[in-house]
Amino acid sequence: MKLSLTVLPFLLTGTSAFAPCPVQKSTASSTTACMALGNNPEKNIVLGRLQFIQQTVAATAAAFTLLPNSANAAKYGSFGAGSPEVLDPSTAVVDEEILASEPVQKAFAAVKSYKKTIEDIKSLLDSNNQADVGPIIRKELDFVQLRADLNTLNSAFDEETQRGTDRLVRLIMQDVTELETANKQKPGVERSEKRLSIMYGKLEKLNKAFADYLAFV
């Protein structure tokens, strides 16, 4: 569909090349224009078709230039839930000097504590599947602080590595938000098995995402 929309304007422009010189009152300008194309109608049509083909080929080339790079898609995966694995952590390039800095070390410790919080929430639900974990999420997985710590730790990686870790950061932020949403219950209403299953699913994804992210360090 993207290709069709990109080519359409060129097709509309190109078809005008097939139209013969209009029949109108003879003027110096119109006579000159028609003479420029030639008085032979068949020759005009051939020239028009050639222009049409050239424009179509150019439009097709431009459209393919705008399409996503399949090599990058295969290497890094698409972005969003359910995407395949990102870069291999063993290929990560880490700036040891930046990693050793106090702000990054503090963020590193914080990210490890976030993973421990996810494990604690799961243990709490295992013991009481009706437990309200909202207060824990808001206190221990504060959205603003979580994002800041993840981005600070991310600064120790080179640009190529960050193309993989950035995806993990986005997934973590998204799943924390969705976990808090799934936790919300109306007063006096028990949590259904379906909602509990959603929460366990988010916790499992978060635990893995944090583990994958920490593996880059």
In tens digits, the chain (217 residues) has pLDDT values of 444 444 444 444 444 444 444 444 444 444 444 444 445 555 454 455 556 555 544 544 444 334 433 333 333 333 333 444 457 888 899 999 999 999 999 999 999 999 999 999 999 999 999 999 999 999 999 999 999 999 999 999 999 999 889 999 999 999 999 999 999 988 889 999 999 999 999 999 999 999 999 999 9
User: Do residues 131 and 173 lie in contact, with contact meaning Cβ atoms separated by under 8 Å?
Assistant: no
Residue holding tokens 């009481």? 128
Chain mean position to CA 62: 22
CA distance 217 to 203: 22
What pLDDT shows up at residue 9?
A: 46
DSSP 79: S
What pLDDT shows up at residue 90?
A: 87
User: Do residues 173 and 146 lie in contact, with contact meaning Cβ atoms separated by under 8 Å?
Assistant: yes
What pLDDT shows up at residue 55?
A: 58
153: closest CA among 188, 199, 116, 106? 106
- Could you tell me which residues are beta bridge partners of residue 94? 157
What pLDDT shows up at residue 87?
A: 72
Query: Positive or negative CA dihedral for 15, 18, 22, 28?
Result: positive
Angle between helices 41-66 and 2-15 (to 10 degrees): 160
What pLDDT shows up at residue 48?
A: 54
User: Do residues 179 and 95 lie in contact, with contact meaning Cβ atoms separated by under 8 Å?
Assistant: no
Output the pTM of the full model.
0.61
